[in-house]
């Protein structure tokens, strides 16, 4: 009890006294309106399934003050099927019963608090475990991300290195092409000079011939200080040689019918097939195409490093000289793939370049010769390949013949 005579009732005590409060509500429901204690009239009018704590405290206070109300509630509670000794004692002696209930409530509260503490400790341990797992996963993610970042940086560096190497190759290729262009310009310049000189000499020869006809009575020809042939037949041969040098730069070449009229290709009797004279002989017969065994020729130039890019470019440059000296198609076949993944290309001098890639170069050359052997020349030192290309219409010669000529 406090100083005003009111009983101290907390929420834990109210929870214990709830069965008595419900019995009191039943008693209030059976009482006449005028008989209901003034402090409990709001309680009597409440239709809530469970009384709010203020109303429940009012019921307990009234039980402690009113013996008649308490006796009616004790009778109602005692008639129920479930009773407890603590509540019966409270109805007999509210003050003493309240103290016992409070002590037991405190004990129960301590047990509950201990249980809550154990539960809280378990939750803390569980959270600690989850925190440790989260830290472990964070560390693993950080390590993985560091590795991925390092890999990305390495990939970028590799890409830069490859790009730089490709740029260097392109610069080298541009330089080589420029050198070929310069060579072609020199050839064109020399041919132009030769043609101008030929025209001048031809005009001079015509003028001299006219003068000879006017002076037919003179038996001895005038002495000459130049190197121009005076004999018309020799002059015609000289013009033919100039025309042969200029032949690759004419717009219109011989037709297939023209070549057929020339007859079958053959190395002239007495000419060794491994000498430059053999190739000269074949060029003069105007073949339709030359097929060169690229790496075989490169091996004859240099036994070491014959398959390098520089060695390959050397073979292509030499083949370019052949392309400029004949109207025939010049095809060079190399073993394996191209560095840049190409199946083939055409050089600035008009040389067709092909890579065998998944096949042997010998098989590719033999197949090309067999598919269309007419007026074809195969250049290789490979004896087996020469035997395979010795078919009607196709003439094989040695790589050494080509290198001696070049």
Per-residue pLDDT tens for 350-375?
999 999 988 999 999 999 999 999 99
Burial 270-298 (b: 16+ CB within 10 A, else e): ebebbbbbbbebbbebbbbbbbbbbbbbb
Give 394's DSSP letter. E
Range of the domain at 68: 11-92
Decide if 57 is inside a domain.
Answer: yes
CA distances from 394 to 122, 209, 219, 385 (A): 95, 46, 53, 12
Of the residues 73, 92, 111, which one is the last residue of a structural domain?
Answer: 92
Decide if 107 is inside a domain.
Answer: no
CATH number at residue 278: 3.40.50
Long-range CB contacts (< 8 A, 24+ apart) of 147-154? none
Coil, helix or strand at residue 332: strand
Q: Considering just the CA atoms, what is the radius of gyration of the chain in Å? A: 59
Number of domains in the chain: 2
Coil, helix or strand at residue 342: coil
Decide if 83 is inside a domain.
Answer: yes
Of the residues 57, 92, 127, which one is the last residue of a structural domain?
Answer: 92
pLDDT for res 255: 54
Coil, helix or strand at residue 291: strand
Give 5's DSSP letter. S
Instruction: List the chain pLDDT tens, one digit each, 406 residues.
Output: 655 557 778 888 888 899 999 999 999 999 998 889 988 999 989 888 888 999 989 999 999 888 999 999 999 998 877 788 889 888 888 888 888 887 776 776 677 778 888 888 988 999 999 999 999 999 999 999 899 988 889 888 888 998 888 888 888 888 888 888 887 787 677 777 767 776 776 777 677 767 767 766 554 444 444 455 566 656 655 565 555 444 444 444 555 555 556 778 999 888 999 999 999 999 999 999 999 999 999 999 887 777 788 889 999 999 999 999 999 999 999 998 887 888 899 999 999 999 998 899 999 999 999 999 999 999 999 999 999 999 999 999 999 999 999 8
Do the Cβ atoms of 406 and 318 come closer than 8 Å?
yes
Cα angle: 345, vertex 346, 349; to 5 degrees = 155
Decide if 387 is inside a domain.
Answer: yes
Which helix or strand (DSSP H or E) is residue 331 part of? strand 329-334
Residue 90, CA atoms < 13 Å, CB-side half-sphere: 28
Decide if 234 is inside a domain.
Answer: no
Of the residues 92, 125, 149, which one is the last residue of a structural domain?
Answer: 92
10 Å CB burial of residue 398 (0-12, 13-18, 19+) is buried
Decide if 196 is inside a domain.
Answer: no
Decide if 307 is inside a domain.
Answer: yes
Decide if 156 is inside a domain.
Answer: no
The strand order across the sheet containing 376-379 reads: 344-346, 352-355, 329-334, 289-293, 376-379, 394-397
């Amino acid at each position: 009890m406090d100083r005003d005579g009111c009983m101290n009732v907390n929420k834990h005590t109210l929870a214990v006294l709830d069965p008595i409060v419900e019995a009191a509500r039943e008693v209030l429901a059976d009482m006449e309106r005028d008989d209901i204690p003034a402090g409990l009239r709001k309680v009597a009018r409440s239709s809530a399934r469970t009384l709010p704590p203020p109303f429940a405290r009012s019921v307990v206070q009234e039980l402690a003050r009113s013996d008649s109300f308490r006796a009616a509630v004790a009778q109602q509670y005692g008639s129920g099927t479930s009773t407890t000794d603590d509540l019966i004692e409270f109805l007999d002696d509210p003050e003493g019963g309240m103290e016992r209930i409070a002590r037991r409530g405190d004990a129960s509260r301590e047990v509950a608090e201990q249980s809550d503490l154990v539960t809280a400790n378990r939750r803390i341990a569980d959270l600690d475990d989850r925190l440790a797992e989260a830290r472990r996963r964070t560390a693993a993610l950080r390590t993985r991300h560091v590795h991925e970042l390092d890999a990305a940086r390495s990939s970028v560096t590799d890409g830069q290195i490859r790009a730089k190497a490709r740029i260097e190759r392109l610069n080298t290729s541009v330089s080589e092409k420029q050198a070929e262009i310069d060579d072609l310009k020199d050839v064109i310049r020399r041919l132009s000079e030769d043609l101008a000189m030929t025209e001048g000499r031809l005009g001079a020869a015509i003028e001299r011939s006219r003068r000879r006809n006017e002076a037919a009575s003179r038996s001895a020809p005038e002495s000459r200080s130049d190197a121009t042939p005076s004999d018309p037949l020799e002059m015609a041969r000289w013009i033919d040689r100039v025309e042969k040098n200029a032949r690759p730069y004419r717009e219109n070449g011989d037709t297939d019918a023209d070549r057929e009229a020339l007859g079958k290709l053959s190395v002239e009797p007495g000419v060794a097939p491994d000498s430059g004279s053999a190739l000269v002989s074949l060029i003069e017969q105007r073949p339709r195409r030359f097929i060169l065994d690229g790496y075989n020729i490169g091996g004859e130039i240099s036994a070491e490093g014959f398959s390098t890019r520089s060695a390959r470019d050397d073979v292509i440059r030499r083949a370019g000289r052949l392309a400029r000296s004949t109207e025939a198609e010049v095809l060079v076949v190399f073993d394996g793939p191209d560095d840049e993944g190409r199946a083939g290309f055409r050089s600035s001098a008009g040389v067709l370049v092909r890579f065998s890639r998944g096949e042997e170069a010998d098989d590719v050359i033999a197949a090309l010769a067999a598919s269309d052997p007419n007026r074809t020349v195969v250049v290789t030192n490979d004896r087996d390949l020469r035997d395979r290309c010795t078919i009607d219409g196709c003439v094989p010669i040695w790589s050494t013949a080509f290198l001696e000529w070049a």
